[in-house]
Amino acid sequence: QLIFLNGEFVKKEDAVVSVYDHGFLYGDGIFEGIRAYSGNVFRLDEHLTRLYDSAKSIMLTIPYSKEEMTNIVVKTLRQNKLNDGYIRLVVSRGVGDLGLNPYTCEKPTVLAIAEPLRIYPKELYETGLEIITVATRRNRSDALSPMVKSLNYLNNVLVKIEASLAGVSEALMLNDQGHVAEGSADNIFIVKDGKLKTPPGYVGALVGITRNAIMELAQAKGYEMVEGIFTRHEVYTADEVFLTGTAAEVIPVTKVDGRVVGDGKPGPVTIDLSESFRELTVTDGVK
Ligand code: PLP
């Protein structure tokens, strides 16, 4: 396996970063998770736009243009002979002094890792996930916006820990007002009476690229689709619930906090949109 690290491809065992890298010391950096399907990099432009927006928000200058970053992503896949896989792009503040001051870091560390990926077993896409809501909050009022895909993913890690302690593999975060925000690394959709609803970014969710694709597909297919705030009650009483994300793709949820969703099986809207999404992934991407 070959990793892109600061301008060159190195073997996995040689891909090492300094202990003085502020990405490691302070979580000072940003990342993207991108996916390739049959040789197409799905919505690469949107992922890079989000990466550059995240960088701008934390005042980090990425030392490559968007075009160069596009090439890095495509080349990392090719070097690893992957047609289908996941690409992790990371840009950290780089190596500096021990202090917090980011201005001691001379240049950002840039790396890209490409790997095959399936985060959930195939059966779960047919049976649906059991999830819970957790104590970890997604705070929309933090100075660091939840829109920034920063290397500070401790809240999200805590969600995974809470989920795992409860014996489930995913969980939902609420915001400080009790509105449903998102999963650990996925967005949520609920379906009621054939209408779809997903929380707006301002509740404290990352505006996912998979989420955007699903919203477009839903509208194109004539479903009523709205962004709106909702609480756990609406999730408990929804006909269908599903999560979306680059890694998870579209995954049905059939139980939330012990409440069976609908009839306990993935519903027709979820199945319809999952199939459309699958078709889109092979047609919509950078070769
Ligand atoms: N929410 C969070 C916190 C994430 O990290 C991710 C993953 O990128 C998502 C949602 C889903 O976003 P996307 O569909 O762009 O992968």
Domain ranges in the chain are 2-115, 122-286
How is domain 122-286 classified at the CATH fold level?
D-amino Acid Aminotransferase; Chain A, domain 2 (3.20.10)
Q: How sure is the predictor about 55, in pLDDT bands with cuts at 50, 70 and 90? A: very high
% of the chain at pLDDT higher than 90: 92
Query: For ligand 1, is residue 54 a contact (CB within 6 Å)?
Result: no
Query: For ligand 1, is residue 210 a contact (CB within 6 Å)?
Result: yes
Best residue among 206, 243, 251 to mutate for probing ligand 1, ranked by most atoms within 8 Å of CB:
206
Query: For ligand 1, is residue 206 a contact (CB within 6 Å)?
Result: yes
Indicate whether this complex's ipTM tops 0.95: yes
Residue 162, pLDDT > 70, answer yes
Atom of ligand 1 at shortest range from CA of 183: 1
Q: How far is the CA of 192 from the centre of ligand 1 (A)?
A: 23
Place of tokens 């047919």: 126
Predicted pLDDT of residue 118? 76
Nearest CA to ligand 1 atom 12: 208
How far lies 180's CA from each of 71, 185, 236, in Å? Answer: 37, 14, 12
Query: For ligand 1, is residue 246 a contact (CB within 6 Å)?
Result: yes
Q: How far is the CA of 98 from the centre of ligand 1 (A)?
A: 31
Mean pLDDT across 40-63: 97
Full-model pTM = 0.96
Mean pLDDT over each residue of the chain, to the nearest integer: 96
Q: How sure is the predictor about 286, in pLDDT bands with cuts at 50, 70 and 90? A: low
Assigned architecture for domain 2-115? 2-Layer Sandwich (3.30)
Q: How far is the CA of 99 from the centre of ligand 1 (A)?
A: 30
Predicted pLDDT of residue 141? 78
How far lies 237's CA from each of 146, 188, 241, in Å? Answer: 27, 14, 10
